[in-house]
Amino acid sequence: MRFEDAKGGEGLFMHAQKDMSTTVKDNQTTTVEKGNQTVTVEKGDRTVTVATGNETTDITQGSLTETIKVRRSTCANFIQVKAEGDAPGTQLYTATEQIKFVVGKSSITLNPDSIILQFSGSTSITLNAANIDAIAPLINLNKDKG
């Protein structure tokens, strides 16, 4: 551990040759009043565990950008995404191969050259540049709503 007290270069420097473990019996608060905070794991994994309670990220001014090279997985009983305030209310999902939404036995599949609506069993609608294919026990075209 090293302290620097020279004017303009004040700082606290900590170095652990091997492992470093910190235990706080009550609350811990870290405040960066001016500048940036960087956390770097050069090799290995990073895990954050909230055993009981919630985790909140609050960006009061600015944006959140995530770049994930391989895969992102989110698992929850309920996921809600919404634009609030003056936001335009638009969500953009981009993929080069496929985007698929599944609810029970129904799905919507977006491919580069087609859109497929699949319903329980063998009922489906496929749209592409050349045609629309509908497969179902009964197909009603231009059915009167009245």
d(CA 85, CA 126): 37
For 110-136, b/e burial (b = at least 16 CB within 10 A) is eeeeeebebeeeebeebeeeeeeeeee
Q: How far apart are CA 132 and CA 125, in angstroms?
A: 7
How confident is the model at residue 45, as a pLDDT? Answer: 96
Adjacent-strand bridge partners of 13: 2
Cβ 104 vs Cβ 118: under 8 Å: no
pLDDT digits (tens, 9 = 90+) for 106-146: 999 999 999 999 998 789 999 999 999 999 999 988 887 76
Predicted local confidence at residue 31, as pLDDT: 94
Which pLDDT score, from 0 to 100, does residue 146 have?
Answer: 60
pLDDT of residue 34: 92
* C-alpha to C-alpha distance for 111 and 96, rounded to whole angstroms: 8
pLDDT at position 56, please?
Answer: 93
How far, in Å, are 55, 65, 83, 93, 136 from residue 86 at the CA level? 25, 20, 8, 20, 43
Q: Where are the domains of the chain?
A: 95-138
Spatial separation of the C-alpha atoms in residues 6 and 34, rounded to whole Å: 19
Kindly give the parts of the chain with pLDDT less than 70: 87, 146
pLDDT at residue 127 in the model: 97
HSE-CB of 6 using CA atoms within 13 angstroms: 3
Residue with tokens 């004017």: 7
